[in-house]
Structure 1
Amino acid sequence: MLVLAFDTATAAITVALYEWTPGEGAVPRGAAEAVDRRRHTELLTPSIAQVMADAGAAPADLSAIAVGVGPGPYTGLRVGLVTAQAMGEALGVPVHGVCTLDVIASATGRDEPFAVATDARRKEVYWARYASCRARATDPAVGPAADVLDGAPEGLPVVGEGAALYPETFGDTGHEPLLPTATALAELAVARLAGLKGLPLLPPEPLYLRRPDAKEPGPRKKVTPA
């Protein structure tokens, strides 16, 4: 089973190619990562092409595609989702979603409770709490940084870029990993596809959690004849 995984829900543009076999488990075939808040569209497709080429794999070799579904800002998030859906339709392979907060949580390797927070802009964070790196305890949410700790045990660790942005709430250190990585995404997707780990995969639909800034134009104003 050859799985292509990528995520554009944060400032990171991550791509990874993993192969899974019953005898060997998940084996990395290639990965690419970049951090650029404004160039998701320009960087994603070339990164996919490069990872596939470096691995000596063709699109027809893919068994599935996994894509980060956020939560994340509208513009960046939709780049990954549209790309995944277009590739899946063209290649005739299934497309699965993975919560981006779960990807960051999985990379921590933590066995004790913690929370993940990413940048939601507007002085807010996207966040969720976890019982461990394998088990999410709350649904993803968006709101002020203080919401993450509201009702939580004292001293709850918080990881992710959102935590690093608000040191007055979460402290100055101990927030790594800040962004989702290609390897964590692919490993989590492959494990879930193989039925080995954690929550089930999601539909490839965005977790926006709030409406985009853009609004549909209202009706045109009537012009009164002079």
Structure 2
Amino acid sequence: MKTFVLFFIMMFSLAAMAGPLENRESNGGKGIVIGNKAYLLDLLERTPYDAYLPAKKPFVFGLKKEVVFRAFPASFPREKIYLKLLELNQFSPEVMMRLYNTARRLQWQLVEGPLALTADDTFLDGRWQGYQLVQLAERRVNVIRIDQAMWQRLDDVNKVALVIHEIVYSAIDPLSTEFRSDLTRFFVSSVFSKEDFPAMNYAHTRLFWQSVFFLNPVIRD
């Protein structure tokens, strides 16, 4: 709990120091290459590596599968992206709808790489020092460009996590400011963690993330 509180204080401080608005390449999820596999950095921040995809399909009023599918290319694991959005609704319907509405205005392209590393975040946890750091994706205005070769090296968990990473960053930082990607990585690593996702249901945690996504606080019993 203390770790969450300290992290939230630090993140608000970083947000307050955000630089002037500018139109730059940013937003991109980074990863590392191990053998013939690629991994999103967000998911490697948890030990042990416990990222998962939901298997259940809870009903969410107003979120139709075919509508969600239209937001993503047919080559994407759209069913699994849809299930993850449904799961996020259990955490906060307000946050889930913000992410869904953000996803609807994004365009996705698989492009020939390699992509140049963006300057927003190049931190590598000590456990992964020595591995090749790669740019999996980058954002140019509302277009998310994904390195096609790296995309093929990701398993479905990492593909869905990369998609959510890009949506989250776009929702938090829609105008591409100097906002660092720490918040995005922390959110994605938490919601894909079997251990940490249940802990996000604390009221103060929901209120914090609602504020990060520029939502009015919603207090529930």
TM-score normalized by structure 1? Answer: 0.24
Which structure's residues are more often strand, by fraction? 1
| Higher share in helix | 2
Larger Rg: 1
TM-score (norm 2): 0.24
